[in-house]
Amino acid sequence: MRIRGLRAAVGALAVLAAMTACSSDPEPTASSPAPVTTPSDTASISASPAPSEDPNLFTSTVAYVKGSSVKVYDKPYGEVVMTLKAKDVLTVPDKTPLVLLAKTVQKDGIEVYLPVRPNGTTGWVEPRDVQLYATDYQLDVFIKDHELVLSKGGEELGRYPIGTGRDELPTPGGVYFIRELLAPPNPKGAYGPYAYGLSGYSPVLDNFKGGDAVIGIHGTNDPSSIGKDVSHGCIRLSNDAITELVETWQLPLGTPVYIHD
Where in the sequence numbering do the catalytic residues fall? 218, 234
Cβ-count burial 161-180 (b if 16+ within 10 Å, e if not): bbbbbeeebbbbbbbbbbbb
Which pLDDT value is given to residue 45? 58
Classified by CATH at the fold level, domain 44-135 comes out as SH3 type barrels. (2.30.30)
Q: Which tens digits make up the pLDDT trace of 128-186? A: 999 999 999 999 999 999 999 999 999 999 999 999 999 999 999 999 999 999 999 99
Domain locations in the chain as residue ranges: 13-36+136-260, 44-135
Between residues 36 and 213, the one the model is more confident about: 213
Closest CA to 143 of 57, 67, 233: 233
* Helix, strand or coil, per DSSP, at residue 240: helix
Cβ atoms of residues 124 and 108 within 8 Å: no
Distances (CA, A) of 139 to 71, 105, 167, 203: 28, 21, 22, 20
Half-sphere exposure of 154 (CA within 13 A, CB side): 5
The arithmetic mean of pLDDT across residues 23-52, rounded, is 40
Q: Which tens digits make up the pLDDT trace of 83-96? A: 999 999 999 999 99
Q: Which tens digits make up the pLDDT trace of 93-123? A: 999 999 999 999 999 999 999 999 999 999 9
Question: What CATH number is given for 13-36+136-260 in this structure?
Answer: 2.40.440.10
Which pLDDT value is given to residue 110? 97
